[in-house]
């Protein structure tokens, strides 16, 4: 494996970690107005993710930094072409982060309700738009021979990408509802379980539609043929297993399966892209690849040494954080938010 491929894999791992961890964060935020009826219940819901949400967002910052350093042409084209979509995501995340910190600064019901709805909006928009953005990487966007994006915002919207956005939103909501089931007590827990059983089947349908659309509107069929390989089949198996486990109310294992569904879904996307990082809809030869979009070999070598030292440290720290805050949030728990 050359360094270009290594960094492509590392970027995929960083995005996978982000969607697994921030996915249930988004789901909890979207569900906040619906599974919590009182201020005390809303505080308990927020505190299920309170100690970890900001750490989860570090994954996307690291992923963006890795793209910037390892594949600068990819970074430049991506952030110029997807500027408005990424700006909306950034604005939503800023509002969401401020809401987490500000809602407890005043006891006024109107004040707290306003920030609770900001958490909802700040979770809903990214959960939807990340699916749209990733689908566009695979579908292709107007990139010319100079690696410049020459389209507009509405070129990113199509039936296929919107289905992808709804699929990511519904999957994250399901993931977050299962997380709430595991981290809370009744009545929040029972409401989260009811959401899982309602939203889960819809997420399954949308993911199947997304897969079908991928074969219709991208070049995946031409590249992979009828046999898509082991990774997407594992994703499908994890998704079906999650549905069975939810039906049996074995939520711990169901959470493992939705986690694997996200992992294999993101892995499938990167496998279908490789060795490309952005597909040109104008001319396939103008697509950005891990070679024509990369930094110099020297830069990649230095980055590999740094990543080899610090990535295990970050992983160990985050694992320790989740272990410390592993307990359920009950009515007796001292609440911070």
pLDDT of residue 329: 86
Distances (CA, A) of 184 to 25, 169, 242, 270: 14, 22, 20, 35
Residue keyed to tokens 């992992």: 263
Residue 224 has pLDDT above 90, yes or no: no
| pLDDT tens digits along 53-67 | 888 888 988 899 999
Q: How far apart are CA 294 and CA 274, in angstroms?
A: 14
Domain positions in the chain are: 3-324
pTM for this model (two decimals): 0.93
Question: What are 208's two structure tokens?
Answer: 């199947």
268 within 8 A of 235, measured Cβ to Cβ: yes
- Give me the sign of the Cα torsion angle 47, 196, 185, 110: positive
- The CB density around residue 83, as the number of other CB atoms within 10 Å, is 12
CA 314 to chain centre: 19
Residues paired with residue 130 on neighbouring β-strands, in sequence order: none
Residues paired with residue 278 on neighbouring β-strands, in sequence order: 288
| pLDDT tens digits along 257-300 | 999 999 999 998 898 888 999 999 888 899 999 999 999 999 99
Percent of the chain clearing pLDDT 70 (strictly above): 97
Q: How far apart are CA 156 and CA 281, in angstroms?
A: 11
What's the CA angle centered on 135, arms 129 and 138, to 5 degrees? 150
Question: What are 313's two structure tokens?
Answer: 């440290």
CA quadruple 108, 109, 111, 114: dihedral, nearest 10: 180
């Amino acid at each position: 494996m050359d360094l270009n491929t290594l960094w492509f894999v590392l970027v995929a791992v960083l995005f996978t970690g982000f969607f697994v961890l921030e996915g249930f964060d988004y789901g909890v935020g979207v569900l906040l107005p619906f599974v919590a009826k009182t201020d005390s219940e809303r505080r308990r819901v927020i505190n299920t993710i309170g100690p970890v949400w900001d750490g989860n967002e570090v994954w996307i910052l690291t992923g963006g930094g890795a793209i910037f350093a390892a594949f600068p042409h990819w970074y430049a084209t991506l952030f110029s072409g997807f500027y408005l979509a990424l700006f909306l995501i950034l604005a939503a995340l800023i509002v969401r982060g401020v809401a987490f910190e500000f809602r407890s600064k005043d006891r006024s019901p109107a004040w707290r309700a306003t920030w609770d709805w900001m958490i909802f909006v700040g979770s809903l928009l990214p959960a939807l738009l990340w699916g749209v953005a990733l689908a566009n990487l695979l579908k292709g966007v107007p990139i010319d021979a100079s690696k410049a994006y020459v389209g507009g915002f509405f070129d990113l919207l199509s039936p296929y990408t919107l289905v992808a956005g709804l699929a990511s939103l519904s999957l994250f909501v399901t993931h977050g509802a299962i997380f709430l089931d595991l981290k809370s007590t009744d009545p929040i827990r029972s409401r989260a379980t009811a959401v899982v059983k309602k939203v889960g089947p819809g997420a399954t349908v949308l993911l199947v539609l997304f897969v079908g659309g991928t074969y219709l509107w991208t070049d995946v069929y031409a590249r992979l043929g009828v046999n898509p390989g082991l990774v997407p089949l594992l994703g499908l198996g994890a998704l079906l297993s999650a549905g069975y486990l939810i039906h049996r109310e074995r939520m711990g294992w169901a959470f493992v399966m939705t986690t694997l569904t996200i992992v294999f879904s993101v892995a499938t996307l990167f496998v279908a892209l490789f060795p490309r990082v952005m597909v040109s809809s104008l001319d396939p030869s103008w697509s950005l690849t891990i070679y024509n979009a990369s930094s110099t070999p020297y830069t990649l070598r230095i980055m590999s040494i740094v990543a080899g030292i610090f990535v295990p440290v970050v992983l160990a720290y985050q694992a320790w954080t989740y272990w410390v805050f592993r307990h359920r949030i009950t009515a007796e728990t001292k609440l911070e938010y």
